[in-house]
Chain A
């Protein structure tokens, strides 16, 4: 086991897959000569050269489209968005091309492509730079969506994503690149589509992903101090959803809280809530609650931002509520 930051785990995944398969290349803004805006791709240009570490101008629609066209022609691009906020200007490329070309061509084309980068709020970047894109990218078929929260998951899932023959949306987080954790030595692959229990428990199921994981774990610790046992499930893949893992836990706890970065209207949290309600309605002893962003544009000021973003305290309140604990 090596202790790595998430950024290092991601870099190792890219490096190993580039060494393994010459068709894999990285493309995006500042990925090469600048060594990556968040240093995920540091050193890769020196190792692989400009053919395979491709700096682009500021043109998300352009380089996302180039990645798609290259994937159709047999390459395996890793497209880095400096942040998923900037993917909004490439949305048509992902929605209408990446997600649809295999179906539209009746299976003539395969699109092995990863779109990766930081997602959701960082810290005091205001509304245009603090958005969680799950609700957009999980909202249509033809893609898989992954969100990682630990170095081991980051490496194992990115390697799987690069080897997958489908378009993959791969969410990271600016504020989590320095998070450290143990990563298994040697070839480390984690299957896409599998959730993981990050903290076992018996009283309340807390479903989370991405930045939500740290909040959920902190809330579970607070709840434990009050004698409430929480099982924290990290979805890791948001599309397709691992219904089985969530349902198995809720059948045990009879209670479910969702903790995540993202707006409450529609989206992945609402989807999980719908599935739990449909798949194990009779097992529920309380309404499913969601702890997420307030339905607002993110403000810059630190005190306001803290109010909008979910906190362990807010998550704890929801955990108490579904357990009918008075405070």
Chain B
């Protein structure tokens, strides 16, 4: 088994593989000395030790809301209520929830077309999100954007971008404006590992490092760019090895725990905010579904998917809540409320009207607005 397949196939029980792999790749150890795995590193990083039961329950519920939203959307897609491309965030929820939880007022998230999770985590109404997928007037962006183009400025969601890497310089521009205006905001720019190989990404990251912008680039490395595994995308496995060339701080870990991920990311964000230290973070994660609804994911083995399920932060959250004394009934009650919310979201989307015909003329230029 090559090192590449080792890291891709054995995320859960392979901490030593990660360590070996990382040191082989010449990775710099994180400044705070954390382990590569967020949840199982230094004892102080442990999620349970750093979060109250209420906090754990809240974060777990947020992750569950995203998962149930995505499962509900997938069902609606198979029922023909949603068309176009639908990229699900199932497996990666902890990243959006962790980020939303550490953000301060004015902070921004810029992300990819796999954007529903951030919208839900940042507080967008699930009904408006579902209605957008349904192409309805009540959708998050009025039915003109669809799944890949969610925007909710008032919630800090500065966009889901559907051209890979195209948003990286734009996010740097938001951070440029923050520095220009000294507004104290941090921009979080999320990208897939597949976006690490396109020019706009390199240009945006170079400018961010050159100008010491208040930005954190976060690679959500789910190991596949559509169907192309990392080992066929990149000559190195550790994508943060590129960070020193852009003078970006860097860190890298497996996302198996939402609290630890939040805490570790928060420290990086504060350095970007206060110390002119932009960063490149690589989060190892996994999407349990295909790239989009049309992708059965045949390029992955069942064993690999099962191995990653063992580190699913949602499952860990549930186990920790049980450990903290929550009963089956307690957990079922949480789930029932979330399922009811998503059912209501579908009902809302179903009942909503399509956009008015004249809405297609809106918002191309400012003069188009009434």
Contact = CB atoms under 8 A, between A and B. Distances in A.
A153 to B, nearest CB: 21
A103 interface: yes
Nearest to A69: B173
Contacts of B169: 61-66, 68-69, 93
B242 to A, nearest CB: 15
Nearest to A101: B159
A92 interface: yes
A92 B365 contact: no
B107 to A, nearest CB: 12
Contact of A165 (B168, B178, B366): B366
B65 interface: no
B180 A97 contact: no
A92 B170 CA distance: 12
B172 A62 contact: yes
Interface string B174-211: 11111011000000000000000001100110110010
A142 interface: yes
Contact of B207 (A56, A72, A102): A56
Interface residues of B, number: 42
Given A56-B207, A62-B207, A65-B166, A103 B173 contact: no
B199 A61 contact: yes
A220 to B, nearest CB: 34
B153 interface: yes
A67 B151 CA distance: 19
Nearest to A56: B207
Given A63-B169, A65-B203, A141 B364 contact: yes
Contacts of A107: 362-363, 369
B166 A97 contact: yes
B60 interface: no
A326 interface: no
A166 B180 CA distance: 21
Interface of B: 140-142, 144-145, 149, 151-153, 158-159, 161, 163, 166-178, 180-181, 199-200, 203-204, 206-207, 210, 362-367, 369
13 contacts: A51-B180, A62-B200, A62-B204, A62-B207, A63-B169, A66-B169, A74-B177, A75-B176, A97-B170, A101-B159, A104-B159, A105-B159, A166-B366
**CB-CB nearest 7 A-B residue pairs:** A69-B173, A65-B169, A62-B203, A73-B177, A105-B151, A106-B141, A66-B173
Given A65-B169, A65-B200, A93-B200, 14 more contacts: A25-B180, A56-B207, A64-B169, A68-B170, A68-B173, A69-B175, A72-B174, A73-B174, A93-B170, A97-B167, A103-B144, A103-B362, A103-B363, A108-B153
Interface of A: 25, 51, 56-57, 59, 61-75, 89, 92-93, 96-97, 101-110, 141-142, 144, 165-166
